[in-house]
Structure 1
Amino acid sequence: MEATMTAVVADDYGQPETLAIRTIPIPEPGPGQIQVRLRAAALNPADVVALSGTMRAVAELDFPHVPGSDFAGTVTKTGPGSGPGVGRFAVGDEVFGMALPRGSAALAAIVSSPPSLTTGTLAEYAVFDADTPAVALRPPALPAEHAAALALVGLTALPLLRQGRFVPGEKVLVIGATGGTGSAVLPLLAETGVHLIATSTPTDEKAMRALGAAEVIDHRATDLLDETLRRYPDGIDALVNLALPGTELPPFARAIRPGGRLLNIAHPSPDPADFDLEHLTVETLFTHAEPGDLDILAAKARPIRYRSPSAAGTSCPTRRGPTPTCETTTPEASGSSTCDTHRVGHGRGRRRGVRPAGRLCRCRAGRYIRYPC
């Protein structure tokens, strides 16, 4: 009799509301692959976009489709023979990382070499390619729930840090700092010694400062470009864009000093022809894993504590706060709660964590419900 598991499944392209929890066969590893029992997984905006069908040209899905890229879990089987990379892992190893759907091989080749592909992480079990820098051993000090939210955002942040060549004292504005990638970019940037300016709302300001921001600009209450020029009439040294479409970025060149940098990860990318490249470097970076990158991120991940404006309880808000998973929630005065998370690798409400063992948790009323549900 074929062994089965519980998984989140889509039968066709569509919106997240079409996803269903179903029983499907457990995938078996082939040569060069490992099977992992998932302890935690995370859903990213890219997973939802792929499900919508808008990325079909580079990420065609096979149905039934199990979404999910980020994960942490335990190796339960290795593929037959001695396929590439299988020797890196043994049954019982704790692993984490990210992988893309098997129909996304061309896109996965950009993310890592060799590429990292999976059967989908929102399930009790998944199969992964072993010979890839996008999958690594999880150190015991890094909880599975935190590791599962670390890979994609961290592997997006590291290329920005490397290409930016930031030096201490530089003034750097991060647009979209409260998103999942921002939660990785901010602490990594702060570590370089730059003067970090983050866009945020008053609700998230304490979290942004806990992540390393020296200043916060409320982008909803003021014109971001005007406020940046007011504070820095001579210009900032670099702008890191994690949110705005490229067509909205050319005016911000006025706020960057001659010789400065504009680094972007958002889609659509800015057209370099719209900028004076004699005085400004404009680059779009993509998620990419080099050998050892996940080890670097795991070593840098550490807990922070911040006061959330949510009511006290045993779950943390995802709609307004910067974390989808919390290690602890301790009620405090004024109806607030304090949440533990890791500086590198947590996200906002668009990034939902699940614990797929046994039963699948779901977000309800803007909250992440801890397992067991």
Structure 2
Amino acid sequence: MKAVLADEHGSAEVLRVADLPVPQPSEGQIQVRVAAAALNPADLKMLAGPTPLHFPHVPGSDFAGTVSEIGPGVNRFSVGDEVFGYALPTPDAAGLVSDPPSVTTGTMAEYAVFEADTPALAFRPEALPAARAAALPTAGLTALPVIRALETSRRTDSPDRGKTVKVLVIGAAGGVGSVLVPLLAEAGAHVIATALLEDQEYVRRLGAREFIDYWAVDTIDETLRRHPDGVDAVVNLGLPGDSLTYAERAIRRRGILLNVTFPQPDPADFRADLTVETLLAWAGPGDLDALAEKAAEGVMPDTAGRVFALGEGAEAYDVLQNEHTRGKIIVVMPVGDGR
């Protein structure tokens, strides 16, 4: 089979497309003929080290495809099932995804093996094309904890309950933002999205009511100019997490700052009345099914920014590393057996 692979730690430059043996499922595992896979910045961070990797290493965690073989003891899936999901290509990091863990041989390949008994895999609805399904897992499973944290912050005894929530989303045009902004809009939030000027119409189509060009103005100063009393929440999707103390000026009393990036901010560095949390992608039972349903219903638009063939997989990672991207970068696999 063809796969994007690396023989050593490094940047996108160490990746190439080459032949590898088709991975075979062991007990409790399924083999999937991958139809599409989505790139994530974490793929490159893992490749850069110091995470221990088995070489040749095939990157990729998000995918959609067809079950092609099942290992002993698998009852959940059958050959021919259309599936999608999220797994990490190293056992050392698998606990960050779900419980039971979700591990893969790497999704940037024509075939990949996955643990079957994990909420990080789900059946793909017929109404959801493979490329769109592949774009959902990491972004969606990062966005859902943000939505839930915001819901929890609006307690039933809160004096602000019933008011429209104002949410500043920093870095709204990326993969997570492309899922989060529509979910916030569906929930009735007033979303203020930061992005480049060229992405203004894109984030407005996602559901943002306001746009801030973070290259043209200071995001926090501009937010306070428009909303002198501050916003209810700031969600950081793009800046280093430890650089966010300046953002507290824009958050009202008893507000919340949610972060999904590293390094994590230290809550002790912020005002005592603020809730400060770092949230990671996590798959719970039914989460992927809920995301797929909303995507199929049109709540979330197609977030594929650029699409590459598998033979261009190394180039796709170079684009992710060196160019501005919108939404998700997708790699589609060739039609055929690929063995």
TM-score of the aligned structures, taking structure 2 as reference length: 0.87
2:109 alignment partner, SS class: coil
Q: Are 2:104 and 1:118 equivalent residues in the alignment?
A: yes
Q: Report the Cα distance in structure 2 between the residues aligned to 1:142 and 1:252, rounded to whole angstroms.
A: 38
Do the aligned residues in 1 keep the contact of 2:119 with 2:286 (CA within 8 Å)? yes
Matching residue within 289, 306, 324 for 2:306? 324
Q: Report the Cα distance in structure 2 between the residues aligned to 1:103 and 1:53, rounded to whole angstroms.
A: 15
Q: Report the Cα distance in structure 2 between the residues aligned to 1:355 and 1:112, rounded to whole angstroms.
A: 25
Alignment of 1:121-200 (within 5 A): 121-165=107-151, 169-200=164-195
2:228 equivalent in structure 1: 233
Task: Give the gaps of 5 or more residues in structure 2.
Answer: 155-161, 309-323
Deviation at 1:68, TM superposition (A): 0.7
Deviation at 1:357, TM superposition (A): 2.4
The one-character-per-residue Cα deviations of 1:69-95 (angstroms, maximum 9, x if unpaired) are 100000010002x2xxx2110000000
Q: Report the Cα distance in structure 2 between the residues aligned to 1:188 and 1:152, rounded to whole angstroms.
A: 15
Deviation at 1:6, TM superposition (A): 1.0
Q: Are 2:42 and 1:46 equivalent residues in the alignment?
A: yes
Q: Report the Cα distance in structure 2 between the residues aligned to 1:144 and 1:15, rounded to whole angstroms.
A: 28
Alignment of 1:299-318 (within 5 A): 299-302=293-296, 303=298
Q: Report the Cα distance in structure 1 between the residues aligned to 2:59 and 2:300, rounded to whole angstroms.
A: 31
Matching residue within 40, 61, 78 for 1:69? 61
Q: Report the Cα distance in structure 1 between the residues aligned to 2:108 and 2:32, rounded to whole angstroms.
A: 12
1:20 equivalent in structure 2: 16
Do the aligned residues in 1 keep the contact of 2:192 with 2:209 (CA within 8 Å)? yes
The one-character-per-residue Cα deviations of 1:79-123 (angstroms, maximum 9, x if unpaired) are 02x2xxx2110000000001001343xx32132000100001111
Do the aligned residues in 1 keep the contact of 2:98 with 2:118 (CA within 8 Å)? yes
Deviation at 1:322, TM superposition (A): 6.9
Deviation at 1:44, TM superposition (A): 0.7
**More displaced 10-residue stretch of structure 1: 7-16 or 348-357:** 348-357
Q: Report the Cα distance in structure 1 between the residues aligned to 2:86 and 2:210, rounded to whole angstroms.
A: 32
Matching residue within 89, 96, 119 for 1:101? 89
Deviation at 1:168, TM superposition (A): 5.5
Q: Report the Cα distance in structure 2 between the residues aligned to 1:37 and 1:202, rounded to whole angstroms.
A: 39
Which structure carries more helix by proportion? 2
What is the RMSD computed on CA atoms of the aligned residues? 2.2
The count of residues paired between Structure 1 and Structure 2 equals 311
Q: Report the Cα distance in structure 2 between the residues aligned to 1:126 and 1:255, rounded to whole angstroms.
A: 45
Q: Report the Cα distance in structure 1 between the residues aligned to 2:241 and 2:131, rounded to whole angstroms.
A: 33
Q: Are 2:284 and 1:284 equivalent residues in the alignment?
A: no
Give identity over the alignment, percent. 57
The one-character-per-residue Cα deviations of 1:329-358 (angstroms, maximum 9, x if unpaired) are xxxxxxxxxxxxxxxxxx935842111225
Q: Report the Cα distance in structure 2 between the residues aligned to 1:74 and 1:140, rounded to whole angstroms.
A: 12
Deviation at 1:222, TM superposition (A): 0.4
2:215 alignment partner, SS class: coil
TM-score of the aligned structures, taking structure 1 as reference length: 0.79
1:146 alignment partner, SS class: helix
Task: Give the gaps of 5 or more residues in structure 1.
Answer: 307-315, 327-346, 360-373
Q: Report the Cα distance in structure 1 between the residues aligned to 2:300 and 2:34, rounded to whole angstroms.
A: 27
